[in-house]
Structure 1
Amino acid sequence: MLCAVTDLRTRRIHPAWWVAAVTFLALVGAAAFRAVPGVLIEPLQAEFGWSTSTISAAVGLNMALYGLTAPFAAALMERFGIRRVVVSALLVVALGSGLTVFMTAPWQLVLCWGLLVGLGTGSMAMSLVATVTGRWFVARRGLVSGVLTAGGAAGQLIFLPVVATVSAAHGWRPAALGTTAAALVVVPFVAWFLRDRPSDVGAVPLGGTAADEPPRATGNAARTALAGLALAARTRVFWLLAAGFAICGATTNGLVQPHFIPAAHDHGMPVTTAASLLALVGLFDIAGTIASGWLTDRVDPRFLLLAYYALRGLSLFLLPPLFGSDLQASMIAFIVFYGLDWVATVPPTLALCRQHFGARAPVVFGWVFASHQVGAAIAAYSAGVVRDVTGTYDAAWYGAALLCLVAAGLSISIRRVRPVQPAPAAEEAAAEDAVLRG
């Protein structure tokens, strides 16, 4: 393997780019099953008679664990390595999605779709992006963060139409098994090509020196994650970032991803057409997130977040009248914009974490991302309840729009500070002891 890496380096391709490519592939595989819920709500209701709120409860648990697992996964990556954690996570995703074909009761949906897949995908969430970019890149961190974040969008783009088509033609079980296969296909690539640190292959971080590679963690992973939360929670900026990112999750993964297709179907739009529109969101998300990463290297991240959240809120205010049985240009315009804005918030949020928390940024960002998914979980369940009670999703769309304006205000109120320098190992250990012992 070292010979292969050496050969690549002689061709002037830094090993960091190959690590980024495999990480992108892993994120695409993880996104496969996360593309399923919105498509399969209708088939599950038809077969089992479960209510929207019942299915939304499993979706909500999935989204909550997708976020809450992230900081602990970041700490595990620091302790045991990226490759081991990602391979294990892909296998858990495959297990959870594969077992769904045998379910007959709602609690089994919650166990497989909510618990197992939530834990697996959460271990490959944005904390993976933060860890890889923090270890392997000094130059182009913002751009690479945007590209890797787009991996989830690419997975949605690839799998949403496929899942919808397979489900319509052959039922939801073959569609679920297809996502299981997608996760398993990625495993050998990660096991063979993904390396934990530049020093493992005799390299240095792209654009940096050996001193830029973070030190190896030796402590307890759970302790590291909790200490990172305890220290970050003492700062105002952490709560501003967490609150804003919770609203980001509520208005994307929590509301639009699982409920756009059922909402469009309520107005007479075929499920396959709505799924194709949601896949189109994924296409433009790739472009928007990469562009956001490029801008983050050049523009104050606070101003980017202000613009992203304010424009997202405006678009949600305009959405309810756009639904109909016929596909209109105005709906296409909404899809294009919402795609560009979907997770464009990730690169500037990650940049602000690095500015304020230095070497602890991957773990702290894991906690900020946890808030993203808690917000998504609350929105996923709440929108299902709104639909069951009122017969329409309109109140959910308008409420989400107002929340986006709140997020815009929170983001611009973050103060600029000088980047935090990594603390010596002894000082970090002392800080952890002081925090955890009270």
Structure 2
Amino acid sequence: MTQTSQPPAPSTGGIPASSRRPRRPYPRPHRAWAVAVVTFVTVIGAAAFASLPGLLIDPLHTEFGWSRAMIGFAVSINLALYGLTAPFAAALMDRFGMRRVVACALLAIALGSGLTTHMTQSWQLVLCWGVLVGLGSGSMALAFAATVTNRWFVARRGLVTGILTAGGAAGQLVFLPLLSWITEHHGWRPAAVTVAIAALAVVPFVWFLLRDHPADVGLAPYGATEFVPKPPPVAGAAGRTLRALRDAARTSTFWLLAGTFAICGASTNGLVKTHFVPAAHDHGLPVTTAASLLAVIGVFDIAGTVASGWFTDRVSPRRLLAIYYGLRGLSLMFLPMLLADSIHPPMVLFIVFYGLDWVATVPPTIALCREHYGENSAIVFGWVLASHQIGAALVAYLGGVARDAFGSYDLVWYSSGALCAIAALMSLVIRRRPVGVPAVVAVG
């Protein structure tokens, strides 16, 4: 008897059920990427406050009669505390967790920025914007990005560092044109309130979505082959931070990294971010236009920093630093000849070039800290970042002094360009840690 064959079911496409492969579950992204996104959003929100100081110089000088040096002094306190708080914040995150520290930092920024709108004396600017906002911003500075990267990622660390660092540039891109428009049309007080609102808006994201360690959700770090248990809270945060500094300071690498990063801060946050807008306005360029150019720097900074993270995974970090500082110095030397009352192609070229180089130094600097200082690399990088902000603070203040004394910023541009050339040479002196030699780790 012949068995009658059955036609294949339409849904199988003619393939017998026994021959079909079982469907593979769609791979879910690792939780580390969600944490990276929350961190990125946090850095963007925090960048709102960093966009404002350069826009305040002329309005505060006009309304209160305060000298540019006095306003620059308040900004310098902000920048210095931003750096000096960072290493202690990294240790506090080990003790209390990233979520609590970052949420409190955002609240401090909102409080300081909001109180600024009621000030009548210059010391109040120093207290509100210099101290409160400086402490808050320092608690979630780049050491925060380094902590997230060290805990959640084993693979793609350079790339992730570049992306998180670019968050600051993205925040600048979003807030600079907005704050400059608000300042010009409605005054500086509504701009300060906008900064406070931006900081508050990020708090829920941090509190509900950020997690301190992969073990909190039962995962291994991204790229790790084995599960990593969450370390117990580390007591004595201040003591550990100071011990990490003590041990790192015994190495020449630390001083070379700190010196180059001080020059990095002097030539970016201290100089361009603080004084570019008033310097361009001195040459007749409208404030909103100058702020928009600074925002465009942020656009290319995103691309440059992400690319730098990619390069850091493949090229010697010290060579990258030498290239970045050398090119930055050249661009600053040409800037005084480019400032004018309108936008022209050479100025656009400077903006693009400087934007690509702005924070490109961060991924290779973090990589060198990780290479030489192991599990304390985030704390050591916090101290290196402190030098970055001290350099920024000095130039933020001295730039205002130079403008009051000489009527222009030309001397500051040329001096910063020369310092960048020195930083390029210092970067080449940094040695790679020999294979087999353990990283420097602070002990009790």
Report the TM range for the smaller structure's normalisation.
over 0.9
Q: Compute the displacement of 1:211 (Å).
A: 5.6
Q: Deviations over 1:196-238 (max 9, x none)?
A: 0000001110001446567334221101111110010000000
Q: Compute the displacement of 1:432 (Å).
A: 3.4
Aligned twin of 1:97: 113
Q: Which moved more, 1:143-152 or 1:39-48?
A: 39-48
| Aligned-partner SS, 2:75 | helix
Aligned twin of 2:311: 295
Q: C-alpha distance in 1, partners of 2:439/2:108?
A: 34
Q: Quick check: 1:97–1:180 contact (8 Å CA) kept in 2?
A: yes
Correspondence 1:131 to 2:147: yes
The structure richer in helix per residue is 1
Aligned residue identity for 1:338: Y
Aligned twin of 1:377: 393
What are the ranges of 5 or more consecutive residues in structure 2 without an aligned counterpart? Answer: 1-24
Q: Deviations over 1:240-279 (max 9, x none)?
A: 0000000000000000001000000000000000000000
Distance change (3 Å), C-alpha of 1:214 and 1:227: farther
| Aligned-partner SS, 2:340 | coil
From 391, 394, 414, the equivalent of 2:407 is 391
Correspondence 1:278 to 2:294: yes
Q: C-alpha distance in 1, partners of 2:226/2:148?
A: 15
Aligned residues: 419
Q: C-alpha distance in 2, partners of 1:210/1:202?
A: 12
Q: Deviations over 1:127-173 (max 9, x none)?
A: 00110000000000000000000011011110000000011111111
Q: Quick check: 1:214–1:359 contact (8 Å CA) kept in 2?
A: no
Aligned runs of 1:348-363 on 2, under 5 Å?
A: 348-363=364-379
Correspondence 1:84 to 2:100: yes
From 215, 222, 230, the equivalent of 1:199 is 215
Aligned runs of 1:277-426 on 2, under 5 Å?
A: 277-418=293-434, 421=438
Aligned residue identity for 2:199: A
Q: Compute the displacement of 1:45 (Å).
A: 1.0
Correspondence 1:118 to 2:129: no
Q: Quick check: 1:135–1:214 contact (8 Å CA) kept in 2?
A: no
Aligned residue identity for 2:283: H
Q: Quick check: 1:136–1:213 contact (8 Å CA) kept in 2?
A: no
What are the ranges of 5 or more consecutive residues in structure 1 without an aligned counterpart? Answer: 1-8, 434-438
Q: C-alpha distance in 2, partners of 1:301/1:158?
A: 30
Q: Quick check: 2:221–2:227 contact (8 Å CA) kept in 1?
A: no
Aligned runs of 1:5-16 on 2, under 5 Å?
A: 11-16=27-32
Correspondence 1:432 to 2:443: yes
Q: C-alpha distance in 2, partners of 1:414/1:211?
A: 34
Q: Compute the displacement of 1:416 (Å).
A: 1.1
Aligned residue identity for 1:432: V
Q: Quick check: 1:205–1:213 contact (8 Å CA) kept in 2?
A: no
Aligned twin of 2:174: 158
Q: Deviations over 1:177-203 (max 9, x none)?
A: 011000000000100000000000011
Q: C-alpha distance in 1, partners of 2:125/2:56?
A: 12
| Aligned-partner SS, 1:102 | coil
Q: C-alpha distance in 2, partners of 1:224/1:29?
A: 29
Aligned residue identity for 1:158: V
TM-score (norm 1): 0.94
Q: C-alpha distance in 1, partners of 2:425/2:105?
A: 36
| Aligned-partner SS, 2:135 | helix
From 46, 56, 60, the equivalent of 1:40 is 56
Distance change (3 Å), C-alpha of 1:422 and 1:232: closer
Q: What is the percent sequence identity of the aligned residues?
A: 63
Aligned twin of 1:71: 87
Q: C-alpha distance in 2, partners of 1:395/1:206?
A: 48
Q: Deviations over 1:71-96 (max 9, x none)?
A: 00000001111000000000000000
From 240, 255, 264, the equivalent of 2:280 is 264
Q: C-alpha distance in 2, partners of 1:171/1:374?
A: 30
Q: Compute the displacement of 1:29 (Å).
A: 1.0
Aligned twin of 2:5: none
Q: Compute the displacement of 1:10 (Å).
A: 6.8
Aligned twin of 1:247: 263
